[in-house]
Chain A
Amino acid sequence: MRIFIVLVLMLVSLSASVYQKNCVSCHKKLPIKIDKFFYRYLLKYSSAIETKYAMKLYLQNPQKENSILNPALLNRFGVKKKSKLNQKELEKAIDEYWDIYKVFGKLK
C-alpha cells in the first residue's frame, strides 16, 4: 500500500506541467498572487509577443531595472533568483501562464 501511494505521488509529480511545478508552487507561498504579475506585465507590454519576451528576459536575468514590481514591493520582496529552467522549459512555462490569464476570448 505504501509503495502504491509513493508511486501515485510520483506519477502526479511527473504529470504536473513545468509551469505548475516551477512557478505556481513557489508563488503560492507569496502574498501576491501570480495573476497580479500577469496583469502588471500586460499593463506594460500589451501584446502576447512583447509580454512573453519581457517575462523571459526577466526570468533569465532578474534585475531591479527590468522588474515590473513597484519599488515598494521590490524593496520588500527583493529581486527573485535567476530561473534554473532551460530556454525551452521557460518558454513552455510562460506560454502556459499566458494561456491561463490572457484576456483574449474572455470578454463578453
Chain B
Amino acid sequence: MLKSWDTNLRQSEKKTLFSFFILYSFFIILLLSFISIAYYKTQKDFMLKDKRLELSKYANDEIKRLKYLHVNFDTVPRVYPRDKRFKSGIYDSVYTKIFSLLDSDKVDLNEDIYLQNGDIYYIKELESYYLGTKYVVIEVKDSGVWKRQAYENLVIYGGILLFAMLLMGYFLLYLLLKPMREALALLDRFIKDTTHELNTPVSTILSNIELSESVEVDKRLQKRLNRIKIGAKTISNLYQDLVFLTLSERVERKKEQVDIKKLLKERAEYFSLFLESKKIALKMDLKDGVTLWVDRNRLIKLIDNLFSNAIKYNKMRGGIEVVLRDNYFYIKDSGRGIEADKLEQIFKRYERADRSVGGFGIGLSIVSEIAQEEGLKIEIDSIFKEFTKVKVSW
C-alpha cells in the first residue's frame, strides 16, 4: 500500500490522538453515567410518587383496624389485622417492633417511601398511638415495569447519545488538528522535494571522488579530497535516511541471513574517514558466527545511523566501542551523552537531544522504526557528558 505522506498522521501523533480519544471517551462515558444515574433515580422517584397514594390508602385502612383493636383489646381476639393487598408492620416511638409481617426486619422509619430489594416500603406516622404504634409500615412488591422501561430507554437513548458525542468528538478533533496536519504536511513536502534535488549532485560528487582515488595525488590534495568525501558521504547518508522515510513503504523488503560481524566491520570501514577526521579510536570486540534473518539494507541503515550518531556526538580523540555477542550488539561512544529527561523523547522524529551539531533528528526515529519492523529491541543507556550506549538485541 502506498503511503500517503501528506495526509497520514504518523505514529506518535496517532498515539496522541488515540490517548485523547480514550480520555474523551472516558469523560463522555462518565458524563453519560451521571446522566443515566440521575434519569434512573428520577424514574424511581416518579414510580414511588405514583405508588404513594395507593400505599397511603392501605396505611389508613390498617390504622382503622389498629384503632378498633386498641379500643377493644380486652374483648376481641388479639389478632393482628392482615390484608391480602400488602404486608405491614407496627413500631413504637423508639423504633421497637411491636408486630410485623414484613419480609425485611430492617426498615428505615425515617423515610417516607422507598424501594429496597424489590419491595416498596411506605411509612406512615400516627397521631394517636393505637396499641403504642407510632409508625405503620406498608410493604408491597415492586412490579419492576418502570425499571425495565428505564433500562430500555437508557440503552437506546444512551447509546444514541454516546455515538453522537463520540462522532462529535472525532470531528472536533479533526478540526483542531487541521492546522497541525497542514504544518506537518508542508514540512514533509519540503523534505521530500529537497531529497529529490539532493540525489544527482551527491552521486556525481561521490563517483568523481572514487574515480580520483585511482589517480595518485599529493598528500595535501588527498586530505582535501578526503574532506570532500566525508562531506559527500554525510549528505549521502542524509539522503538515504530521507529516502527511507519518504519511500520506505514502496521499497520491497528482502530478508536474508546476514553475518552481523561482517556487516559491522563493513560499516565501520565505511565510516573510517569520519573516525579518522575526528581522531576517534574504534575498539571492536565481535563474536564470530552471529547471524540474523533480516533485510540487509535496513539493518545497514540502522547500523549507519548508530555509527553516524556515535561519531557526530563524539568529542575529538574520543572512542567508540562496538561489541557483538550471540543475541545483541552495542555501539558505545565517549560523547556528550543524553540528559535523563530527554531519553524518552529521542526516538521521536525531528527530536534532537543536542542541537549543537547538525542534523534533522530523524536518525534514531529511523533506528526505532527499522528495529520495530525487524523485531529488534533497542535500549539506550546514557550518562550526560560521559557516554551513550545503544544496544540492539534480538
Contacts and interface: CB of A to CB of B under 8 A. Distances in A.
Contact of A107 (B71, B79, B92, B130): B79
B129 A43 contact: yes
Interface in A44-93: 44-51
A84 B105 CA distance: 43
A37 interface: no
Interface residues on A, range: 10 to 19
Contact of A46 (B74, B78, B80, B132): B132
Contact of B98 (A43, A45, A103, A108): A103
Nearest to A36: B74
A46 B73 contact: no
Interface string A93-108: 0000000000110111
B130 A43 contact: yes
B222 interface: no
Nearest to A35: B74
B70 A39 contact: yes
A42 B133 CA distance: 8
A48 B134 CA distance: 12
Nearest to A104: B98
A27 B71 CA distance: 20
Contacts of A43: 70, 128-130
Pick the most buried of A50, A51, A107: most chain B CB atoms within 10 A of its CB: A107
Contacts of B92: 46-48
Interface string A13-57: 000000000000000000000010001001111111111000000
Contact of B96 (A39, A45, A47, A107): A47
A57 B96 CA distance: 23
A39 B134 contact: no
A107 B129 contact: no
Given A47-B92, A49-B94, A50-B93, A42 B79 contact: no
A101 to B, nearest CB: 9
A42 B132 contact: yes
A50 B95 CA distance: 12
Contacts of A47: 92-94, 96, 132, 134
Contacts of B79: 107-108
Contacts of B134: 46-47
B131 interface: yes
B78 A106 contact: yes
Given A103-B98, A104-B98, A51 B132 contact: yes
B63 to A, nearest CB: 13
Contacts of A107: 78-80, 98-99, 131
A43 to B, nearest CB: 5
Contacts of B99: 103, 107
Nearest to A51: B132
B129 A45 contact: yes
Given A43-B70, A108-B79, A108-B80, A103 B131 contact: yes
A103 B92 CA distance: 11
A95 B131 CA distance: 17
A48 B91 CA distance: 12
Nearest to A44: B129
A46 B129 contact: yes
A43 B131 CA distance: 7
Contacts of A103: 73, 98-99, 131-132
A99 to B, nearest CB: 14
A60 to B, nearest CB: 22
Interface in B71-89: 71, 73-74, 77-80
B90 to A, nearest CB: 9
Contacts of B80: 107-108
A48 B99 CA distance: 15
A46 B70 contact: no
A16 to B, nearest CB: 23
Given A47-B96, A50-B94, A107-B99, 14 more contacts: A35-B74, A42-B129, A42-B131, A43-B128, A43-B129, A43-B130, A45-B93, A46-B133, A46-B134, A47-B93, A47-B132, A47-B134, A48-B96, A108-B79
23 contacts: A39-B70, A39-B73, A42-B70, A42-B129, A42-B132, A43-B70, A45-B129, A46-B92, A46-B93, A46-B129, A46-B132, A47-B92, A47-B132, A48-B92, A48-B96, A49-B94, A50-B93, A50-B94, A103-B98, A107-B79, A107-B80, A107-B99, A107-B131
Task: For the complex of A and B, list the 5 residue pairs with the smallest distance between their C-beta atoms, beginning with the closest.
Answer: A46-B93, A46-B129, A47-B92, A47-B94, A107-B80
